[in-house]
Structure 1
């Protein structure tokens, strides 16, 4: 398996599938089983949410509390890692109607053991102050070449913050918004740190299409979320399940080559159909 940066930079590759919180249809989100399932259904990248326990261990959980995924209305980071590892996760994306499974809250190290050499990982830190610590963990686990770290870069202050972090060996992805009025200013800022990829939002798809060559010249791949959330606008999974060409196909034609989705199997099926 190649380096994450080299994989993303390959302009001959198929669009990349990012399984949001793992492939959680059939496994608890952010669980080891969800990572394994992401690999099984053909995802290229798994997105995981990273937090730090009361006794200083890095673990995986999206929400501030354990209410949705475990029925415990208490902040996740107030537990020790031993306490967290004893908590059973609810199936799929949780909620009181979901059954409890045999899956436990995983540590980052456990996740990296699975990821290394098998799939890439986007590590979404709930506290960006953990940047250097998470990068050190990835290096310790010989997984640095398989993961990325990301944060917003839209201002000089945010750019300087990224530069001050010790994430040697770990790829950095910027999170930015492109508008017709500000795209050149934003790209000039990003050019100072040359992120290999950008998790982007945009005012209009026309802005992205009109500047495809600028993104190519910057060697910066474009990542878009088609998650069913307000920030995705019209570009959502629920529409893609009905008309994948209208959502995923149109975005691909505009130059997007990385898609974070809650429907990795459906996206993989669409890509296979396009290749046929």
Structure 2
């Protein structure tokens, strides 16, 4: 495969966006953790793809001996029924972990990032919560040759942005931002292949609650991610236009608002329902 360039990577993203024919991309949060499939597992990723997701979002950790695995730190008690920081475990210990999910034990254990990427070689993957592992993880991903189907994101923190900008591979990247100033700061950094942003707005007076401000971002960048998730910490990610109101009340009040305000990608825990709605809503 030819060495990826900034232009070729952006062309790959553009083909992905065009495949949706004007509808937003569906990003599946940690895969689709339903039934016996815990989140951040290969099973959940396969389930999400078969539910109509365009992109799998996953969280990445590194074992104490330097191997990369799929897990969201802070959920050890919930998912493993253990009071342990998974980042202190070896690769072998991580693989021997047993998920406690929907009332029973489930194996295999915590899975390697490489297993996900090798098993689903055509799938687009958004790697989240990995910025503390840069630049070593960026080296690993570059060596694997998967860069053309990877999306990276992070908060706009100086240390992580500097690591990304200094890396020779122009990874497709978008920051998680709450204000125009945060986005402008990232836009001013040379060496980052900036493709858009995940825009947060908790209250109507927030910057990105204004559709015209969202449109301004869309005029500059192809990827405008809005978030429909209902997180454990009850954070409002975009004006309560979320999965809960979409599933329990009316999808037009949740996902429809996100699409109408200008999202070119929506992150959800319900990819099958979101995909069905978007096919009707966006024609």
Cα offsets for 1:73-112 (capped at 9, x unmatched): 2111111111111222233xxxxx5222233211111111
Change beyond 3 A, Cα 1:274–1:220: closer
Query: Aligned residue for 1:237?
Result: 243
| 2: CA distance, partners of 1:218 / 1:149 | 18
Pair 1:87–1:194, CA change in 2 (3 A): closer
**1:66–1:37 distance in 2 versus 1, CA, 3 Å:** same
Q: For residue 279 of structure 2, what is the aligned residue in structure 1?
A: 272
Unpaired stretches in structure 2, ≥5 consecutive residues? 1-8
Aligned length: 261
1:263 aligns with 2:270: yes
Q: Which residue of the partner structure matches residue 34 of structure 1?
A: 44
Find the counterpart in structure 2 of residue 217 from structure 1: 219
What is the Cα deviation at residue 158 of structure 1? 5.8
Q: Which residue of 2 aligns with 1:63?
A: 73
Q: Output the CA distance in 2 between the equivalents of 1:20 and 1:106.
A: 17
Q: Does 1:188 align with 2:164?
A: no
Q: Deviations over 1:148-188 (max 9, x none)?
A: 221122x7x4685255442614211111113xxxx3x4443
In the other structure, the counterpart of 2:118 is: 113
Q: Deviations over 1:248-268 (max 9, x none)?
A: 111111101211111111111
Change (3 A) 1:54 1:191: closer
- Say which is worse superposed, 224-233 or 144-153, in terms of deviation: 224-233
Select the structure that is richer in strand.
1
Shift of residue 190, structure 1, vs aligned partner: 3.5
Q: After TM superposition, list the pairs within 5 Å mapping 1:106-255 onto structure 2.
A: 106-117=111-122, 119-126=123-130, 128-153=131-156, 157=158, 161-162=162-163, 164-166=165-167, 168-178=169-179, 183=180, 185-192=181-188, 193=192, 195-202=194-201, 203-204=203-204, 207-228=209-230, 229-232=234-237, 233-241=239-247, 242-255=249-262
8 Å Cα contact 1:85/1:106 also seen in 2: yes
Q: Which runs of 5+ in 1 are unaligned?
A: 92-96
Matched with 1:44 is 54
| Contact preservation (8 Å) 2:177, 2:200 | yes
Give the distance between the partners of 1:213 and 1:65, measured in 2 at CA. Answer: 36
